[in-house]
Amino acid sequence: MPKPLELHICFDERGFEIEILDVTPVDGDMYRIEETPIFNPGVSMGDVIRLKEERGVYYYQETVRKSNLKRYAWLLTQDTAYSPILAAFKQRVNGAGGSWEQIFGGLVVIHIPQDSVLDVEDEMNRIIECLGE
């Protein structure tokens, strides 16, 4: 399996929104996204996208295949984002075949298989309620 690459990816044709993302080459100009893009909420971790390279910048062309992951996101306080209860929840997400990301400290993004029995929303709501978020 190819190793992930760090590419400068632009999601608008004017070239104003460029972000550096980890992607894995799939075939030719197709890549699987290995993290959550900030500038394009319609594209998510695990999606396979087509890119066109121009002078070291890769321009998003289309989503070839959506991932089988559901995405959830919460903006949390620092206390909640770094709490032991959230750390334990992240371990349960990993155990259920999902993954998580923590962006800018307090933005927690959970990716979980569509058929997972883990109720992500319910668990996060209980954590938020428990910690008084």
pLDDT tens track for 97-106: 999 999 888 9
Show which of 65, 88, 115 is a domain's final residue.
Answer: 65
Strands (E), the chain: 5-10, 18-27, 30-33, 48-54, 57-65, 69-75, 99-103, 107-113
My answer on whether 37 and 77 are in the same domain is no
My answer on whether 88 and 105 are in the same domain is yes
Show which of 15, 37, 65 is a domain's final residue.
Answer: 65
My answer on whether 80 and 114 are in the same domain is yes
My answer on whether 17 and 58 are in the same domain is yes
**Structural domain total, the chain:** 2
Show which of 15, 46, 65 is a domain's final residue.
Answer: 65
My answer on whether 50 and 79 are in the same domain is no
My answer on whether 47 and 81 are in the same domain is no
List, for residues 14-59, the tens digit of each pLDDT value.
Answer: 777 889 999 999 999 999 999 989 878 889 999 999 999 988 889 9
What SS3 class is residue 112?
strand
- Between CA 95 and CA 97 the distance in angstroms is 5
List, for residues 90-130, the tens digit of each pLDDT value.
Answer: 999 999 999 999 988 899 999 999 999 999 999 999 998 88
My answer on whether 35 and 81 are in the same domain is no
My answer on whether 104 and 123 are in the same domain is yes
Q: Which residues constitute the domain of residue 29?
A: 5-65
